[in-house]
Each structure stands twice: as C-alpha cells, then as structure tokens.
Amino acid sequence: MLNTLLTELNRKTISHIGFDLDGTLYDEADYVIQAYELISAYFAKQLNIDAAAVHQKLFQRWQEKGSSYPFIFSELLDQYTMGKEHIQTMVSEAVKIYRSTPAKLELPQSSIDMLDQLKPHFSLFLITDGQVATQNYKIKQLGLLRWFEPQNIVITGSIAPDAAKPSTKALTQLPELALVPASQVMYVGDRTVDQDFSTTAGFVFCQHRIVSKENHYAKT
C-alpha cells in the first residue's frame, strides 16, 4: 500500500491525505467475525439451531454483499417458520449486538508503517461510514488518534442518514479542506463508494483493501 501511495504522491502535488477506515486501514472482517459469533449464539439459542452453521451463512453473505447490505439477518431468519414481528424483534436485537460488540482489534503493521511515514509530511484526515459509537470504538481500539486529530475525523452517521459515502456531506465537517485545491487532496479507500466520493469531491483516489491472512478462508 505504501509503495502505491508513494508512486501517486510522486506524480502529483498532494498536501492532504484522507482515509476510509473499514477494509482500508484494517481488515473489517476482524470486527465482523467477532460480532457474528455473538449474533450466531443469540440466533442459535432462540431457534435451537447450530451456531457454527449460522455464523458461516452470515459471514458468507456479508462477503457477498458487504456491511451496507441491510438484509443479512432477515434473510437468514426468513428460512425459519416465525412471524414477521418475531423476525423484526430478532433483527433489531442482532443489530444492537453488532453495534456494541467488544471486538479486539489491532492495526496491521503495514498501516502503522504507512501512517508513521505520512504523518510528518501531510495533513491526514479520516472519513468513515457507520454508527457513531461503533466507529468510535474501532478508532479507539486501533489507536488511530496517534495519527489523526479528533477534529479531522468524521463519522458520517453523526451528520445525517443520507451523509454516507458517496455523499460528500462529510466535507462540511472539515473546513480546512475548503481552503485547499481539490487536486491537492488524496483519498484512500477500498470500495466503489469511496472512489465515487473521491471523484465527486475532485480528489485524487488511491484504492486499497486490507485482507488478513487469518481470514482467508472467508475470502474465497
């Protein structure tokens, strides 16, 4: 990742570099796997089914659809005979479990090395989608305040329901960027919505995705 960034930086005059969080600075599967373990245990207890099998189904669907897909839990529960009200109750509980999972997260060494090298030379910012408490937990667990000033971190869930990328509403929370030509800003992300956000904002885009070797079984 660092080599790719340096190549782009050598080609352009960049003063500010922004990052996505999940899947870009760490493998999002690290969080999802742990959250789905708790959710699978809850579903297994409620429905008297095998938790491991439930976990596998949930995780495979997440790999296919991603975190923004809202029907992962309801699709699984639809396979069992129960009323819609019961399904909705269980989905709501699963979402609560997901958002409050006390996952153990660690920033990959490659991200640490990259941020250490960039921090002295560029103004760094972070724009991440998601629920505020969940994303703040991840930021704290990963120790990202070492490189990102609090005022340069934006969680789109704190702005408005429609502020998630590719919307550029997050930029209203970073007034410093309004003083910088967009061509001097780079944004690093792993998804199409990150690229669309960057393009709309006029930024230089660098695509990168982190996948842990420990999670390779789920990446096929």
pLDDT in tens, 18-66: 999 999 999 999 999 999 999 999 999 999 999 999 999 999 999 999 9
Q: Which of 183, 208, 147 is nearest to 25 (CA)?
A: 208
User: Does the N-terminal peptide bond of residue 108 adopt cis geometry, omega within 30 degrees of 0?
Assistant: no
The H-assigned helical ranges of 20-144 are 29-47, 51-65, 72-77, 84-99, 109-118, 132-141
**Band of residue 6 on the pLDDT scale cut at 50, 70, 90:** low
**pLDDT bucket at 220, cuts 50 / 70 / 90:** very low
Model's pTM, two decimal places? 0.90
Per-residue pLDDT band at 115 (split at 50, 70, 90): very high
pLDDT at residue number 68: 86
110 pLDDT exceeds 80?
Answer: yes
> Which pLDDT does position 81 carry in this prediction?
77
Residues, the chain, total?
Answer: 220
Q: Provide the token pair at 129.
A: 């989608």
Residue 215 pLDDT exceeds 80: no
Q: Are strands 16-19 and 153-155 parallel, antiparallel or unpaired?
A: unpaired
